């Protein structure tokens, strides 16, 4: 079976983004459900996970970059946990912020949620130094698997054809909506 590559940067990409949105929302729902029903998984879901999902949803074809961002997030939350373990005061919070921003700039991690994830220890009050880094690792690895799944589905021939047909059907509706979008 021949495989075609879907162009993610063309005008009629609504079906592709819809698939990505559905898979990401299912993942977020599952992470929230697990963290709500199982106390040991409480930190697997955190609001920043939604920001990572949205960021990764637009970078499906850049898995290497996504892995770098995940590594940065794990380093940042580990550092935040370490600073919080040493002291839970404002100075530790400031040091976490300044060191994380420096690392983001130095390693060119183009992802603001990395800074947000470094602050989680200051608001969650984890009992163990390693609890949050492990939770962030597990949740972002699950997100990476979802991204990989999206990339594989988008390469399937039947999906490329279906996305093309849906895009053609939506084309007449797109023109009036684009005019409205420009006015807003």
pLDDT average, residue stretch 6-11 = 46
- pLDDT for 111 equals 87
In a domain? residue 116: yes
In a domain? residue 120: yes
In a domain? residue 159: yes
Distance CA 167, CA 94 (A): 48
In a domain? residue 30: yes
- pLDDT for 66 equals 93
User: For the chain, what percentages of helix, strand and coil (3-state, to nearest 5) are there?
Assistant: 80, 0, 20
For residue 171 the two structure tokens come to 């084309």
Residues 166, 15 contacting (CB under 8 angstroms): yes
Q: Is the pLDDT of residue 110 over 70?
A: yes
Q: Is the pLDDT of residue 90 over 60?
A: yes
Average pLDDT value over all residues in the chain: 85
pLDDT tens digits, 15-45 = 678 888 889 999 999 999 998 998 877 887 8
- pLDDT for 8 equals 44
Number of neighbours of residue 103 by Cβ within 10 angstroms = 17
pLDDT average, residue stretch 70-77 = 97
In a domain? residue 4: no
Residues 104, 141 contacting (CB under 8 angstroms): no
Q: Is the pLDDT of residue 122 over 50?
A: yes
**pTM for the model:** 0.79
Q: Which domain covers residue 121, as residue numbers?
A: 14-34+63-174
In a domain? residue 47: no
pLDDT average, residue stretch 115-123 = 93
- pLDDT for 15 equals 65
Provide the domain count of the chain.
Answer: 1
């Amino acid at each position: 079976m021949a495989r075609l590559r879907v162009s993610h940067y063309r005008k009629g990409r609504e079906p592709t983004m819809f698939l990505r949105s559905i898979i990401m929302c299912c993942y977020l729902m599952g992470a929230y459900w697990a963290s709500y029903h199982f106390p040991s998984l409480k930190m697997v879901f955190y609001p920043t996970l939604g920001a990572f999902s949205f960021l990764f949803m637009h970078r499906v074809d850049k898995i290497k970059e996504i892995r770098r961002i995940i590594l940065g997030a794990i380093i940042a939350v580990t550092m935040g946990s370490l600073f919080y373990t040493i002291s839970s005061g404002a100075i530790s919070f400031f040091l976490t912020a300044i060191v994380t921003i420096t690392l983001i700039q130095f390693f060119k991690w183009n992802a603001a949620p990395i800074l947000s994830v470094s602050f989680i220890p200051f608001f969650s009050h984890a009992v163990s130094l390693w609890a949050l880094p492990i939770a962030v690792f597990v949740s972002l690895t699950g997100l990476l698997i979802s991204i990989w799944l999206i990339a594989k589905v988008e390469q399937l021939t039947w999906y490329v054809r279906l996305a093309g047909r849906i895009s053609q059907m939506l084309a007449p509706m797109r023109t009036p909506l684009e005019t409205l979008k420009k006015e807003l």
